[in-house]
Amino acid sequence: MALRSPIYLDTETLLSQAEYYDIDVPRQADIVEKTVRKRSGGGKAGISSFGVDASMGTDVEYQSAYSLEPKEKATVSKVIDSLIGSAAAVKVDPDGNTVLGKDDLVEVEGITRITAASLAGKMFFIFRRLMETAEGDLGSIFDFDISDARVAEQLKQVYLRNELLPIPVLLELAGSRLPQKVYVNVGPDHFLDEASANRVEGELRVLGSVSRLIPDGDDGYLSAEEWLLHGWEHMMRRKLMPSVGDVVESVVNQLQLELPAEDVRAYIAGPAIVVDAIALY
């Protein structure tokens, strides 16, 4: 197996899966090295009438200690290899014949893109920041003028300075072998190095657990409020969700985004699955 270079990694969940499947994880090792050197002498030392050859010297023990830490990429790659191989815990490249259940571990490969729900979710997060100073009733909290200095500064912070917001991102993953649509829920707290939410679009492999199975038919849908209104109070969600689809449509149009007509706006339509990401690489 190749060495993986994750851009996103939920280490705690990955190691918890390793512990559950009894997989040995490389740990930090404290190394103590001991060496023995002979201290040489010279000449003879007189003791009574006998001469002792001091050139034989004495043994001196030297000791050094250091810590050897496993490298993250190697550790992650070994754990994933074990989950896929010896533990057979991961369903790799699943297709229409693969039986999927809630909490199943899967590795799915495809082309990812951020959905309209998450693009609008950024905007709603900005609205929530501005709510404390907003005037009027709750029904008008989305009626902000984008030319307003406060709103413009928030938009610059998020869209121009690429601020990583403390909200989850919903990706659609296309090109897998599964017959249903695949969506990936990416939390905000586990991006590595310089990686951020702007790097989650493209050709990626996703290791994660199935969190939602959305059936086909009239009842086959899931509200996208988790990504649209993340962090909003429960009653506020209930009040805003009936009209949130129109707001998302407005945001998409204002930003002049060319998104698929069936893209996620207010809800996810089945048949589909949602995978909670553990690692993206």
Q: What is the pLDDT of residues 92-107, one digit of tens each?
A: 999 999 999 999 999 9
Under 8 Å between Cβ of 229 and 167: no
Q: Which 8-state DSSP code applies to residue 263?
A: -
Q: Tell me what pLDDT residue 204 has.
A: 96
pLDDT at 133: 62
Which among 155, 11, 150 has a CA at the least distance from the CA of 75?
11
* Cis preceding-peptide flag for 271 (omega within 30 of 0): yes
Give the HSE-up count for residue 21: Cα atoms under 13 Å, Cβ half-sphere: 20
The whole-number pLDDT of residue 141 equals 57
Q: pLDDT digit of tens for each residue in the chain (281 aa)?
A: 688 989 999 999 999 999 999 998 877 545 555 566 666 555 554 544 445 455 556 666 666 664 445 577 888 999 999 999 988 999 999 999 999 999 999 999 999 999 999 988 888 888 887 776 655 455 555 565 666 677 777 777 776 666 678 899 999 999 999 999 999 999 988 888 665 656 788 999 999 999 999 999 888 999 999 999 998 888 888 888 888 888 788 777 776 777 777 889 899 999 999 999 999 99
Beta-bridged to residue 208, according to DSSP, are 106, 277
Residues in the chain: 281
Every domain of the chain and the residues it spans? 76-280
Q: What's the angle, vertex CA 5, arms to CA 167 and CA 93, rounded to 5?
A: 80
pLDDT on residue 67: 47
- Give 159's DSSP letter: I
- Torsion of the alpha carbons at 17, 101, 181 and 90, rounded to the nearest 10: 40
> Which pLDDT score, from 0 to 100, does residue 47 have?
45
Distance CA(268)–CA(224), nearest Å, equals 6
pLDDT of residue 25: 85
